[in-house]
Amino acid sequence: MSTVRRGVEVSIAMADAVAQADVDVIAAYPITPQTHIVEHLADIVAEGELDAEFVPVESEHSAMSVCCGSSAVGARTFTSTSSQGLALMSEIFFIAAAMRFPIVMALANRSLSSPLSIWNDHTDVMMVRDAGWIHIFVENGQEAYDSIFYAFRIAEDPQVMLPVAINLDGFILTHMVEPVVYEDNDLIKKYIPEFKMKNTLHPDHPVSMGCFAMPEIYTETQMSREAGVVNSYPVILKAWEEWGGLTGRHYKPVETHRVEDAEYCIVTMGSFGETAMEVADQLREEGEKIGVVKIRLWRPFPFEELRKAVLGKKYLIVIDRAISFGGPGGPLALEIRSALYNKKGAPSIVNYVAGLAGRDVSRKDFRDIILEGKKKAASDDTDGFILYGLRG
């Protein structure tokens, strides 16, 4: 097989990528909008096209537990979830990172109950922001497909050994049919060779994993985790650089669009990026000096790249897709504010929370947000956040 271009549902493309990555174990539990990914993987395994154990667990809590077990014996492991599933597994989600298991997960972002809603926003991922996983956001089908390969490459790097969550917007992305270029299996094999973990559970070289820690040593275990996440940064850059060399598709922690000469920027994360670019292009034609900044890498947070992109701009309009109730604003704005605080040339920041649980944010809405945001920033009206489109 050589490179082919297919029109395919993004979930299917991701599942196909997981099969090409030759995973050993898939733990699966149904939840919308992630389900198509694992359903398609079940098919692939049932057809004998992938030699893997497909473990249809009884809960997401067990899905992540199975992933920990299979990763602990050195097996390449994949799972996928959304929303309530993530909430249920969150206990083990934290443990997976602490125990440094290189699991890859597709996280089809969805709102959290209550009220129950199956539609997209980022409340689920923000709940586990501090779990110690690497978090990457993808924007389209091709990025989703590619992400599986570099995610394993990064996760399994001996310097990193961390789980990676690929965040993709539920429905908006998971259920979209898009053209996706599939890479050749030989290329994939070269890019992510069979992986050998240093410490695995095996009777020939017994080890103890998950020991209990007294206060005298807990701090040291946490610093070891922090170092792991921070040190993954150059590895991520290298993985992307190599992927770019092989496929011509290049990724950066912070993606920018018409930022160089921009006076102000809109900042997004996830699939809003594409609409933001279209609207920015339109506004440019009308004379607005606007640029778009898209955060691809959420953890480890790309402080330097962000600063490089936005210091010296007048205003930033940050769009969040989650609320931190009673807090200082959406999680993305919060991060950006603290990254820029006290830096010379820091722009003033206006924060919008929009598109909660799949509420449509049209091009017109984007336009309104940008123009209104600019006005607010210019008049120093930058406290808190604006819940865009709220009635009453």
Partner 1 sequence: MAKPIDQINWHELEIGSVVTETGNAVQYETGSWRSDKPVVNMRQCIKCGVCWLFCPDMCIVRAEEGHFTANLAYCKGCGICAKECPVGCITMINEEA
Partner 2 sequence: MDKYSVFSARLIEQTEYLTSGHRACQGCAEVLAVRLVLKALGRDTIVAMSTGCMEIISSPLPLTSWKLPWIHNAFENSAAVISGCESGMKAMMRKGKLPAKKINFTAMGGDGATADIGMGALSGALERGHDMVYVCYDNEAYMNTGIQRSSSTPYGASTTTSPAGKASMGQHTQKKNMTQVAVAHNIPYVATACPSFPFDLIDKVKRAAEMPGPAYVHIMSVCPTGWRIPPEDAIRYGRLAVDSCMFPLYEVVNGKYRLTYRPNPIIPIRDYLSGQGRYRHLTEPDIEKINDMVGREYQRIVKMSDEV
Bridge partners, residue 168, by sequence: 108
- Residue of 18, 28, 41, 52 interacting with partner 2 (CB under 8 A): 52
Enumerate residues 6+ apart whose C-beta is below 8 A from 25. 52, 53, 55, 66, 67, 70, 75, 76, 77, 78
By CB under 8 A, tell whether 228 contacts partner 1. yes
**Between residue 280 and residue 299, which ones bind partner 2 under the rule CB under 8 A?**
none
Smallest distance from partner 1 to CB 196, Å: 14
Tell me if 31 sits within 8 A of 81, measured CB to CB. Answer: yes
What are 391's two structure tokens? 């009635």
Q: Does 46 bind partner 2 (CB under 8 A)?
A: no
d(CA 183, CA 3): 5
Interface segment toward partner 1; rule CB under 8 A; list 20-28, 137-145, 214-222, 372-380: 214-222
Closest CB to partner 1 among 73 and 209? Answer: 209
When asked if residue 227 is in the footprint of partner 1 (CB under 8 A), the reply is: yes
The number of residues that bind partner 2 (CB under 8 A) is 45
Report d(CA 363, CA 369) in Å as an integer: 10
Smallest distance, partner 1 to C-beta of residue 228, A: 7
DSSP string, 350-367: EEEE--GGG----HHHHH
What residues numbered 189-228 form the site for partner 2, per CB under 8 A?
194, 201-203, 205-214, 217, 221
Instruction: Output the CA–CA distances (angstroms, integers) from residue 340 to 15, 262, 314, in the order listed.
Output: 38, 18, 13
Q: Could you tell me if residue 79 is left (phi over 0), alpha (psi between -120 and 50 degrees) or otherwise beta?
A: beta
Q: 358 — phi, psi (to 5°)?
A: 80, 5
Residues 174, 10 contacting (CB under 8 angstroms): yes
Q: Taking CB under 8 A as the rule, which mask of x and - marks residues 133-172 in contact with partner 1?
A: ----------------------------x-----------
Q: Quick one: which of 18, 25, 168, 316 contacts partner 2 (CB under 8 A)?
A: 25
Binding mask 80-119 for partner 1 (x = CB under 8 A): ------------------xxxx------------------
Residues that bind partner 2 (CB under 8 A): 24-25, 27, 51-53, 55-59, 61-62, 65-75, 77, 91-92, 95, 99, 194, 201-203, 205-214, 217, 221
